Structure 1
Amino acid sequence: MEVYAKTLKKYGIPVQMSGGSLLSDVEELKEFIILLKFLRDPENQVLLVAVLKGIFFGISDKALAEYRLCGGVFRPYAEIPADLPEEIASLFRTAYEKLLMYLNWTRNNPPVTAFEKIAQDIGLIPLVLAGTEGQTGCGYIIKILEILRRNAVSGFSDFNSMVDRLDAIVNANLDEELDITGEERNAVRIMNLHKAKGLEAPVVFLANPYKKPNIAPDYHIQRAENKSVGYFVIKKKTGEFQPKRILAQPLNWAEYEAAETRYLNAEETRLLYVAATRAKNLLFISCCEKNNNKNPWEPLLDFTDTSKDVYEIPEIPVPKPDYPKSSVYIKRKELEEYTKHVKELINTAERPTYMELAVTDVISEDPLPAVKGGLGPEWGSAMHEIIERLVRDEAYYGNCMDLILKRYGFTEPEHGKQAEKLIKEFKESELYSRILNAELKLTEIPFAIRLESGDAVYEKLGINDSLPVILHGKIDLVVKEKDGWAVIDYKTNHYETEEQLNLLIRHYSKQIEIYCSVLEKILNEKAVSGELYFTGHGLVKVVP
């Protein structure tokens, strides 16, 4: 089917395929999946090298070798060797900055949002559109994105699951391609016989006058109304071009084989009937010049007159682009009017119909109390991730603390000791005991919710506007206890005095209140408390 689709497109004929796809030909999509797999497993150096060599960054083997010989490590947070030539160093610097930005997106956005942002930043759709399967490839990507959006509700909850789902979609191929040009009604539809059942067209071509050689069945299914029974021949492969050797077969196999052969022949006859009855006005039957022994349409040829009905296919040159033979001139006034019209269209299209906000955007309007000291926001992100790993599953917590600290650049022994001290305090805290005894615990919960003006949650955002808001964020921890749901957010800010701590509590109170309201709106259940956990201090109840 793909061969026919490509040939028709070469002649400028719109095509739509059913029952098959060209996904395997969209190289840009396959490269994008490799990138997503690396973002799922950023410690995988093989995937990182594949990404760096790929079409998105295009770093040559020579540059990769020189980077490695200069002592470079294939990790996005690694330092660039000082003695690496600047032209090569800039390639790695740019690539690593991009990859770290993408990693941050995967951690702080819902999975599908991360997919869209990365695809947009990397230029996936323009790159596919410029390729050999431009419109078809773009149609596939848009359709895949819609499938992921639809499945996001129940099919997966994190980035890793989304990558697995995407990989499964590509390996399985899409059943239908998506038309993005509006030419679908006037397109030639290419489909297999099973897809053609129930459809009709004025003109139908029965193409591909070849089929696989007849091979005796090695199974038989007794198809009954209530249940089916199967009989199978066990074979062993003896060589690439050698027939398989039979190891075992059911008693009376010759009878079962004959019955299955009759069934398969009858199925071919039924499909042949489907093929012959799809055309309203004209039916073209493909045939071979020499013999039609392997032609699936051969029985239909018996009803044709080869002296009258044969249609010789003419040689048609591939069309060349139709450029104007002479220059086209327009008046200045016409150009100005047209330019004005286009600007009006652009201004209308640019006018927002909704707002997109993160919860962190809302609280960032209030200045964060400045306290000198601490190890900076990277330390906070590292501790945040370590606590999240511990809470998710202590059995698999293992030595991930050291790996996470190294990933954020904390390699000194005192960093490990400080992290161990904070984790020890966390495990001895009242919160950890509640987590272990909770009916249900949920960690790192991404959400995106549409809020209309007048909604109670909308009012808490403090927006002086009436546009709908898409509010997104990620809740660190939610536990279901006997009394109901508790929302907990970890904070790793450095503070030295009780007054500084109280300032931090007031600053983050709005965030935890919004999280509680959002959780109630999504689950339609009451959040009985909203709490902040400060490392080095403990729990602070904010709501109610």
Structure 2
Amino acid sequence: MNWTKEQSYAINMPVSDIIVSAAAGSGKTAVMAERILKRLTEENCVDIDKILVVTYTQAAASEIRERIMKKIVEKMDEDGDGKRLSEQLLKLPYAHISTIHGFCLDLIKKYFYLLDVDPGVKIADETMVSDLKKQCIDNVFTNHYTQNDKVFLDLISEYTDRYDTPVSDAVIKLYDFSRTMPEPYEWINGLPGQYSSENTVATEYISKCASMAGRVAIDEYMQAIKLCDGKEDCIVLKNFLEKELQDVTYAIEKKNYKEMYEALSTLEFANWRLAKGDSVVREECKVHRENAKNIIKKNLMEKYLVYAPWEIEKDNAHVFGYIEKLAELTLEFSDELWNAKKENNIIDFSDFEHLTLKLLKNPDNTPTDVAYAVSESFEEIYVDEFQDCNNIQNTIFNYISGAIRNKPNVFCVGDMKQSIYSFRDSNPLIFRDKTEKYELYDGVECKGANKILLNSNFRSRKTILEFVNSLFSQIMSRECGDVTYDKEERLNYGDGYIHVNENTLSVDIDLIDSSDSFDDNTSTDVCNDNDTSVSDEEISDIEAEATHVASKIKKMISDGYKLYDSKAKCERAAQYKDFAILMRGIKTSAPIFEKALSDMGIPAYCDSGTPYFDAPEIKFLISFLKMIDNPDDDISLVAVMKNPFFGFDENKLLEIRLSNRKLSYYECIKEYCKNHKGNLCDRLKAFLDTIGSYYEKSRYMDANEFLRYLIDDVGYYAYLSTFYDSKLKKANVRFLLHKAKEFETEGFKGIYNFVNYVENYLGTNSKESAKILSENDNVVRIMTIHKSKGLEFPIVFLSCTGKKFNKQDVNSKFVFHKEYGIGVDSVYKDISARFKTANKIASRLKMSYELISEELRVLYVALTRASEKLVITASVSNGPRFLSECESSVTNEPLQINPYKIYSCNNFIQMILMGVSRCEGYPERKNDKLLVSGDFTVNMSLINKRSIGRSAKSDDESLWKDMYDGPTENYEKLKMRLSYEYPHSDSSLYPSNMTVTEVKRLYSESEDFYTPFDDVSLESPKYFGKKQKVFGKKLGTLIHLVMEKLEFDKISDLNSVENQINRLADINLITEEEKSVIVPEKIYKFFLSDIGKETQKYHHSLKKEFSFKYLENAGKIFRTDFDDRIVVQGTIDAFFEDENGEIVIIDYKTDSVADGNCDSIVQKYKTQLDYYATALEKIYNKKIRSKILYLFDIDKSITL
């Protein structure tokens, strides 16, 4: 691949702290993957497991892993000798490539003994945490009510009406907000200080905002004065305006709140009759002067400088005690909640990063020993999408980086202009601060902290890039958008469309005018179908816009709109799959667009339908898993029994329940079976046997493995195939399996945790859903702008840009901001008065600024998705006036529009038109269209809503033509498909993957060797207690679970074994019944053996329950000439490295050994251990010293 100079810098630059500012379409992921490949193959190469890659979504982590794998395979093909890369390929599945939460969880699990966390801690679901929060806040409030806390009671009295819910909700929200910061306790403790008389942070920010708005008033005076220049009869008028401008400027340029307030509150405007001059000029100047006066009187004095300084001090003093009490309540609630979590042995996702930081940072802010250990374990750290990093995550990266060892090694990639996840607490200023602090790398001198700019866009046509550059150079600034759109940020054309004529291309802006005043004769409906118009009352604004978009797409398809195919290096006609319709939100708008497209015969897809976990096929599987994990869950149990797989009707279920209303339904079934006979009883017994079998398998299978087994065993896919929407249902199930795989990748285990994972984390915090579309499905995509991030489409419609921004959070009763703390009103119930405190005003102003800044970045993401054609649509009221207002508001602005005017925008289309209206040649009218000339062309259409029609259905003749081309043309193709023979039919005779256990069974000489223990009832071995029967596999699973969870280095005597087994029961990893059948002496004898002592000696390198996969020649497994490869997978009980770096493998067995004859056991398991050895040799490239079978039945180890 031909890399640009800057891309080569990023790939080849020596290890140091590096930040890569990668603009849209600049190939950042490819660059990062190439750099990692280079690190694996260069002279001083590193292993893949010495590299940490962190990103913010599991999908991104999977993409990076796949990219690296593809790079390694390509490099192996190029070089021929691939031994080194083969090793890396085998290690890739175990490489540290994960989300930030996955990385944190790995550290918590590894160092749990340093935290106040049990090793068996569970991930709590949203409902449980919500319930705990309610209990804890009730406990805290009850305590203060009981104490008759006066300040608390006054707080409740002044900020609530009847119930204390507003204050309790505020405490919980304040707690949640504080968790986004590295030091939440310190931040909460500092809240009262925000209201002290010495603190001027809030008023300083208010005066800064007032000054920004005031500059707009100054600009109005400047425009008025400019009208008087060179006119003899306007000298008096000009002098009048200049005097007022001097007074206004003097007031606005005051540096602090108090001085600015005093100057503006005493500012007086002279009588306009004294301003003599030309009548026409005088009227124009009057308009500008009135605009300036309105800004000063209505904005500065009513929005910013609302209260006199002494009033602010009075209100701050009034609420100071309440803020102290809110902080106190929040800290008490935090402690109460943490204790409740410990008592229930749970943590939630908000705890991950704080527990990790606790591991890494000492109280004096120095790195801990764990921080040094983690830092030393990685040669280089990669952080993708760094613009989405928040404060606590950035702190974690600082404490694990090589910088703490004076070896900077963090490689960050991102684009601040695409930071659009404030709802996930991202802080784009972290990225900006690094780019401003780091030095630009020139390809020669590598500093400790370096910056590389990737600004070449290889995605879009030059027309689109120039449009984006022109627009954002005017509307995006440091003050509004957090970044100045200068030469470092602009998009450079990357020659993605060589030899393609750009002259005929344009960006389209289509405004749908909903007002009655719009003149039909001046409207231009670019895609109006005949005989489809309807009255204005019959169609809403959003329906009109959707219909227009559908019409335009239909016309582009029918006209054969040409696209350039970069792969084929030629033009082709556009297809439906080339179109994407992007919106800020799709909840209400997308269904209307889907219908409009469907009405015109256009296939479309939007993933905003039924919430994923409300889909019946998913609810059933979740209920099934819940029931297997806990049969006493009545709702889940009955839901499964009613399903067609088991077919218990409501009458039978009622009969069972009525037999005993006091027991759980599960116990009721067992009781019914004891006391009844007949067909229903037989069915119930079979049902209990089935779920019992599933329970046993769930104990030793991974979540993904078990879910697949369950789906296959019940024939779920075949069942779903009977539904008309089977494709979607099957896709939903596959998506659940994908989530099960991600769940394991994140380090979780167990059915209970998996159910919580999907219901809580995915159901509440994720908008993900099943993907039933492939890249080749010929449909129009409808999605949110956030969903489109990282994607590209040939033709993009950015629609609903006239919809207002959501400012709900800004207008809340209690507002929170990391700089200004908690914003409250100062309430005086005795006089029924409520005043906003300066902190609330400052918080709301800052939140509004941050909201508009993020909306600007969202707009940037939207406009950079298109590669060939960009169409912007909006519904507006009174289009001509709307255009005129956007134009006049920025006519005399410098290149970068005053941020205050951008703040004033209520939607995307205002922002866009402010920039477009100032381009060269605007607003030249031609053929009823507004044309914008320059480095790009904008075709702007004003379309009357009444002229837009909705077709009830597509033309039948057209539909039949698309669907039926006649038999002659397709006959040979159909014949070829039906007579096709698969050239690799031999491959279908063999499985694509096998477990080691299956391979072992293949080699067994007798069926006895692979008869599943599930169906064989065995008497309890001598080391199991009491008169009970256990099943062979359950016995083996139980011993393996105990050996996995025991802390080997803490075993010193029999008592220590007993204590650890008791702990496993206490944290519900094993049941009391299971504990009762284990004899600790048998476990302890393992540690008295030579191999047991070695596991303790080498416990630092000991790995337990190690899962692996590798490719093996199928001919070797099946002893044939078949030369294809099969994935072999398995789980090794334990292995460790000795002082010579050689590996010792241990396999625990609970088989009964008749008369001490071990030969049959060795024969039975030799193949299994041979494959274990092969796997570890391939993965670690180390010698296997020995393979050990440890037989618990006779307390003996055998070396194979």
Please report the TM-score for the alignment, with normalisation by the length of structure 1: 0.69
Q: Which one of the candidate residues 1061, 1065, 1071 is aligned to 1:398? A: 1065
The residue aligned with 2:709 is: 117
Structure 1 residues 56 and 379, CA gap change in structure 2 (3 angstroms)? closer
In the TM superposition, what is the alpha-carbon distance from 1:530 to its structure 2 partner?
1.9
Secondary structure at the counterpart of residue 1148 of structure 2: strand
Does the CA contact (< 8 Å) of 1:490 and 1:534 recur in 2?
A: yes
User: Which residue does the alignment assign to 1:509?
Assistant: 1166
1:528 aligns with 2:528: no
2:1018·2:1030 contact (CA, 8 Å) conserved in 1? no
Does the C-alpha gap of structure 1 residues 150 and 262 become closer, same or farther in structure 2, counting only changes over 3 Å? closer
- Show CA shifts across 1:264-317 (max 9, x none): 45655676788799995754323589xx9x984684899999x96223454544
Does the C-alpha gap of structure 1 residues 260 and 385 become closer, same or farther in structure 2, counting only changes over 3 Å? closer
User: Which residue identity lines up with residue 375 of structure 1 in the other structure?
Assistant: E
Answering whether residue 602 of structure 2 is matched by residue 33 of structure 1, we say no
Alignment of 1:230-309 (within 5 A): 230-233=819-822, 252-265=839-852, 268=855, 280=869, 283-286=872-875, 296=907, 299=910, 309=943
Q: Distance in 2 between matches of 1:121 and 1:208?
A: 52
- Structure 1 position 64 matched with structure 2 position 653: yes
Alignment-derived partner of residue 811 in structure 2: 216
Cα distance change on mapping 1:319 and 1:185 into 2, 3 Å: closer
**Which amino acid is 1:450 matched to?**
L
One-letter code aligned to 2:820: Y
Q: CA separation in 2, counterparts of 1:200 and 1:347?
A: 36
CA contact (8 A) 2:762 2:768 kept: no
- 1:497 lines up with 2:1155 in the alignment: yes
After superposition, residues 127-276 of structure 1 pair within 5 angstroms as 135-136=727-728, 138-139=730-731, 141-143=733-735, 145-146=737-738, 148-149=740-741, 152=744, 154-156=745-747, 158-160=749-751, 165-167=757-759, 168-174=761-767, 178-180=771-773, 184=777, 186-192=779-785, 195=788, 201=795, 203-206=797-800, 209=803, 212=806, 215-216=810-811, 230-233=819-822, 252-265=839-852, 268=855
CA contact (8 A) 1:110 1:447 kept: no
CA pair 435-381 structure 1, distance change in 2 beyond 3 A: farther
Question: Structure 1's 180 and 18: CA in aligned 2 closer, same or farther, altered over 3 A?
Answer: closer
1:52 has 2:641 as partner? yes
Name the residue aligned to 1:413.
Answer: none
- What is the rounded CA distance, in whole Å, between the counterparts of 1:350 and 1:384 in structure 2? 35
**Equivalent position to 2:666, from 54, 64, 74:** 74
Q: Distance in 1 between matches of 2:1175 and 2:668?
A: 35
Deviation for aligned residue 1:362: 3.3
1:356 is aligned to 2:1017: no
Partners of 2:798 and 2:1127 in 1: CA distance: 48
Paired residue for 1:439?
A: 1099
SS at match of 2:705: helix
Task: Note closer, same or farther for the CA distance 1:439–1:194 as it changes in structure 2 (3 Å cut).
Answer: closer
Q: Deviations over 1:142-181 (max 9, x none)?
A: 45544654675x4336445655554433433345763436
Asked if 1:518 corresponds to 2:1157, the answer is no
Q: CA deviation at 1:31?
A: 3.2
- Equivalent AA in structure 2 for residue 387 of structure 1: I
For the Cα contact (< 8 Å) 1:26–1:133, is it kept in 2? no
1:2–1:32 distance in 2 versus 1, CA, 3 Å? farther
Checking the alignment, whether the CA contact within 8 Å between 1:384 and 1:492 is kept in structure 2 is yes
CA distance in 2 between counterparts of 1:20 and 1:296 reads 26
Answer yes or no: is 1:539 the counterpart of 2:1176: no
Larger radius of gyration: 2
- Residue 199 of structure 1 and its aligned partner are, at CA, apart by 6.8
Per-residue deviation at 1:81? 0.4
The Cα of 1:112 is off from its aligned counterpart by 2.7
Is 1:375 matched up with 2:1019?
yes
CA distance in 1, matches of 2:640, 2:675: 24
**Corresponding residue of 2:408:** none
What's the CA shift for 1:80? 7.0
CA distance in 1, matches of 2:1128, 2:865: 51
Deviation, structure 1 residue 538: 1.5
Alpha-carbon shift at residue 39 of structure 1 (Å)? 4.0
CA deviation after TM superposition for structure 1 residue 451, in Å: 1.1
Superposed CA deviations along residues 178-203 of structure 1, whole A, max 9, x for unmatched, are 34365545413332378479877365
Aligned to 2:1036: 384
Is the 8 Å Cα contact of residues 1038 and 1074 (structure 2) preserved in structure 1? yes
Take 1:492 and 1:64, find their aligned partners in 2: how far apart are those partners? Answer: 41
Pick which of 24-33 and 129-138 moved more.
Answer: 129-138
Question: Are 2:1143 and 2:1183, in contact at CA under 8 Å, matched by a contact in 1?
Answer: yes
| Maintained 8 Å contact 2:820/2:839 | no
Deviations 1:428-458 (A, max 9, x none): 343455555551544444444321258xxx5
CA contact (8 A) 1:112 1:148 kept: yes
Does structure 2 conserve the Cα–Cα contact (< 8 Å) formed by 1:45 and 1:75? no
Q: How far, CA to CA, are the matches of 1:135 and 1:51 in structure 2?
A: 23
TM-aligned CA deviation for residue 17 of structure 1: 4.5
Query: What does the per-residue CA deviation read over 1:389-411, in whole Å, with 9 as the maximum and x for residues that have no partner?
Result: 33213252338465349xxxxxx
Classify 1:281/1:471 alpha carbon distance in 2 versus 1 (closer, same or farther; 3 Å): closer
Partner of 2:313: none
- The match for 2:945 among 311, 327, 335 is 311
| 1:5-42 Cα distance to aligned partner (Å, 9 max, x none) | 45555636433448999425433224323333444556
CA distance in 2, matches of 1:246, 1:118: 61
Change (3 A) 1:134 1:287: farther
Cα separation, 2, equivalents of 1:532 and 1:277: 60
Q: CA deviation at 1:515?
A: 2.5
- Contact conserved, 1:450 with 1:469, CA < 8 A, in 2? yes
Q: Identify unmatched segments of 5+ residues in structure 2.
A: 1-585, 826-832, 883-904, 918-928, 931-940, 1021-1028, 1047-1059
Tell me the residue number matched to 1:452. Answer: 1113
Deviation at 1:231, TM superposition (A): 1.8
> Is contact 2:1149-2:1191 (8 Å) kept?
yes
Question: 1:537: Cα distance to partner?
Answer: 0.8
Structure 1 residue 339: deviation in Å?
11
Q: Which amino acid aligns with 2:874?
A: I
Instruction: Describe how 1:74-93 pairs up with structure 2 within 5 A.
Output: 74=666, 81=673, 84=676, 86=678, 88-89=680-681, 91-93=683-685
Q: How much identity, in percent, do the aligned residues show?
A: 16
Normalized per residue, which structure has more helix? Answer: 2
Q: Give the Cα–Cα distance (whole angstroms) in 1 for the partners of residues 1139 and 665 of structure 2.
A: 50
Is the 2:1156–2:1194 Cα contact (8 Å) retained in structure 1? no
